[in-house]
């Protein structure tokens, strides 16, 4: 079964994405912010990561950089999910290694299409 990690400091956003992913047949769990996310990523290897960019302290870009440097995580696709729809943010995310970029609020169709592009659905 596909395992997804949803990293977002907003609990309701993370929980909503987890519910949608589960409805799509993906085993998903939330990490409510950078601290819990880093703890999980140090111990586990999900099949896909959904990552918010704008979080307090450690940003999504920091987590993306960590995942790219960590050999065990380097090939795990990261899908950035953010309310920041500026073209430069999208460019920065893709250049930093994100495989896709979704603007919040993320729709069921957008999640499904992103997973299909990665061959996970």
- Whole-angstrom distance, CA of residue 96 vs CA of residue 91: 8
Residue 11 is predicted with a pLDDT of 97
Q: Which two tokens stand for residue 113?
A: 């299409």
Q: What is the mean pLDDT of residues 86-100?
A: 96
Residue 39 is predicted with a pLDDT of 97
- pTM of the predicted protein model: 0.96
Give the C-alpha distances (Å, rounded to integers) separating 80 from 20, 67.
16, 13
Number of domains, the chain = 1
Q: Which domain holds residue 47?
A: 3-117
pLDDT band at 45 (very low <50, low <70, confident <90, very high): very high
Q: What is the mean pLDDT of residues 59-69?
A: 95
Q: What is the mean pLDDT of residues 8-31?
A: 97
Residue 18 is predicted with a pLDDT of 98
Q: Which residues contact 45 (CB under 8 A, 6 or more apart)?
A: 72, 73, 76
Residue 99 maps to which CATH number? 3.40.50.2300
Q: What is the mean pLDDT of residues 3-23?
A: 97
Residue 15 is predicted with a pLDDT of 98
Dmax over CA atoms of the chain, in Å, equals 35
């Amino acid at each position: 079964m596909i395992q997804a990690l949803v990293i977002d400091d907003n609990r309701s956003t993370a929980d909503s994405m987890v519910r949608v992913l589960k409805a799509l047949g993906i085993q998903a769990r939330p990490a409510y912010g950078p601290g819990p996310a880093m703890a999980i990523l140090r111990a586990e290897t999900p099949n896909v990561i959904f990552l918010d960019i704008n979080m307090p302290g450690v940003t999504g870009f920091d987590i993306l950089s960590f995942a790219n440097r960590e050999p065990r995580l380097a090939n795990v696709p990261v899908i950035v999910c953010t309310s920041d729809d500026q073209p430069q943010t999208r460019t920065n995310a893709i250049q930093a290694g994100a495989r896709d970029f979704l603007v919040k609020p993320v729709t069921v169709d957008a999640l499904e299409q992103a997973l299909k592009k990665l061959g996970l659905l």
